[in-house]
Every structure is written in structure tokens, then in C-alpha cells.
């Protein structure tokens, strides 16, 4: 399997690494376990991949063949978030014995990664799950249109929440930039 790593993802990782924080290491471990969860389910479903692309919006696995069922697609998409939730639960149990900063950040990173990936947004695990479920019930064109509309609404709500936190609660720009980048990603991909 070929591995392609984007320039901006390398720069982001290096900037996090240079801060010498446990958060960078914890986030990296959580992302790695997330992708390993997808790979584990792929092995169970006998799905083979030709490449793994690591970009600014996360990692993506390209299957050699796309002739697997919607059920397998749902299982494949659940693999990453379920791996993160299981690892967070194990880390919570470990945390009661070994209280440290890394474990706190790992639990937080794992849960945020799992929950954000389950959002019904196009190209997220949750969006792919919803698309597969809709394809089982309706044809792919209707499923794609419905997912586009739902993605737009969810991203718009994230943006509204981010503006609220930014203006009222004087929070940082992280959620605002995240929701804005999702808007651009959805808009650029659609047109």
C-alpha cells in the first residue's frame, strides 16, 4: 500500500511537535488508532487498499476495488470511531491509576475525533454511513442530494456556534476556522 502525505499535514504535525506538548503526541496516537480501526475492519471484511492519503482534513484509505456492499461500507466507517471510543474508555480506566497530562489529552483527543467523525457531513465517517443507509433505502442520486443538504445544515450550525463562542464567550478561533474550512471544502468539491 502506498502512503501519500500532504505538505500542509506535515507542516501542521511539525508545528504541533515543536510546541513540546503532550497534546500533539496524544492527538497523533488517537488519529493513528482511528485509522488502524478502519484497517482492522477492512481486514475483517476482506477489503484491500491501494493507498493511504494523509492530508490536512485527516487520512483517507483508497480501496483497490469499490465493489463491496453498503453494509461493509457502514462497518468500515464505524471502525475508526469505535476504536477511538474503546481506547478512550480504556484510557479512562488507566487514568484512575496513572493520573497524567498525556492520558487526559489522549482521552479528550479520542472522544473529539470519534464524535466529530460521526457527524453526518460529506466525506466524514458519519456522512459516509448516512449515505450508505440512504442508498439502501433510495437511489444514490437522492442519497447524495440529501447528504449534501444535511452536510450544509450541520456545517452552518457549527459555524453559528463558533461565531457565538468567538463573539460572546471570547473563545479562540479553532472551531470557527474548522467550520469555515468545512464550508470551503464542501463548496469547492460540489462545484
Q: Model confidence over 122-144: pLDDT tens digits?
A: 989 999 999 999 999 989 999 99
Rg of the chain in Å (alpha carbons) = 18
Cell of 77: 466507517
Range of the domain at 36: 1-118
Among residues 100, 118, 136, which one ends one of the domains? 118
The chain-wide mean pLDDT, for the chain, equals 84
Return the minimum-mean-pLDDT range out of 51-60, 68-77, 124-133: 51-60
Query: Looking at the 3D structure of the chain, how many domains does it have?
Result: 2
Residues 9 and 103 in one domain: yes
Residues 67 and 9 in one domain: yes
Residues 85 and 25 in one domain: yes
Residues 29 and 77 in one domain: yes
- Percent pLDDT > 90 in the chain is 41
Residue predicted with more confidence, 64 or 37: 37
Residues 163 and 74 in one domain: no
Residue predicted with more confidence, 171 or 77: 77
Residues 58 and 126 in one domain: no
Residues 80 and 13 in one domain: yes
Residues 107 and 45 in one domain: yes
Please say if the pLDDT value at position 47 is more than 80: yes
- Cα–Cα distance, 151 to 183 (Å, whole number): 9
Question: CA angle 139-145-147, nearest 5°?
Answer: 95
Among residues 97, 118, 139, which one ends one of the domains? 118
Residues 27 and 114 in one domain: yes
Dihedral, 12, 14, 19, 23 alpha carbons, nearest 10: 60
Q: In the 8-state DSSP scheme, what is residue 29?
A: H
- Model confidence over 117-127: pLDDT tens digits? 999 999 899 99
Residues 130 and 85 in one domain: no
The confidence score (pLDDT) of residue 191 equals 44
Q: What is the mean pLDDT of residues 45-58?
A: 77
- Model confidence over 80-112: pLDDT tens digits? 999 999 999 999 998 888 778 888 999 999 999
Amino acid at each position: 500500500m502506498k502512503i501519500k502525505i500532504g505538505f500542509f499535514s506535515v507542516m501542521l504535525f511539525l508545528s504541533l511537535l515543536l510546541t513540546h506538548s503532550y497534546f500533539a503526541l496524544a492527538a497523533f496516537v488517537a488519529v493513528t488508532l482511528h485509522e488502524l480501526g478502519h484497517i482492522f475492519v477492512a481486514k475483517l471484511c476482506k477489503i484491500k487498499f491501494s493507498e493511504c492519503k494523509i492530508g490536512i482534513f485527516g487520512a483517507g484509505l483508497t480501496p483497490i476495488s469499490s465493489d463491496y456492499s453498503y453494509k461493509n461500507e457502514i462497518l468500515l466507517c464505524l471502525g475508526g470511531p469505535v476504536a477511538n471510543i474503546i481506547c478512550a474508555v480504556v484510557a479512562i480506566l488507566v487514568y484512575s491509576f496513572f493520573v497524567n497530562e498525556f492520558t487526559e489529552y489522549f482521552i479528550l483527543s479520542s472522544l473529539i475525533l470519534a464524535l466529530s467523525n460521526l457527524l453526518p457531513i460529506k466525506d466524514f465517517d458519519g456522512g459516509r454511513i448516512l449515505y450508505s443507509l440512504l442508498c439502501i433505502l433510495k437511489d444514490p442520486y437522492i442519497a447524495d442530494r440529501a447528504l449534501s443538504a444535511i452536510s450544509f445544515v450541520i456545517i452552518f450550525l457549527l459555524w453559528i456556534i463558533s461565531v457565538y463562542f468567538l463573539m460572546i464567550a471570547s473563545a479562540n478561533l479553532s472551531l470557527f476556522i474548522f467550520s469555515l474550512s468545512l464550508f470551503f471544502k464542501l463548496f469547492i468539491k460540489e462545484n
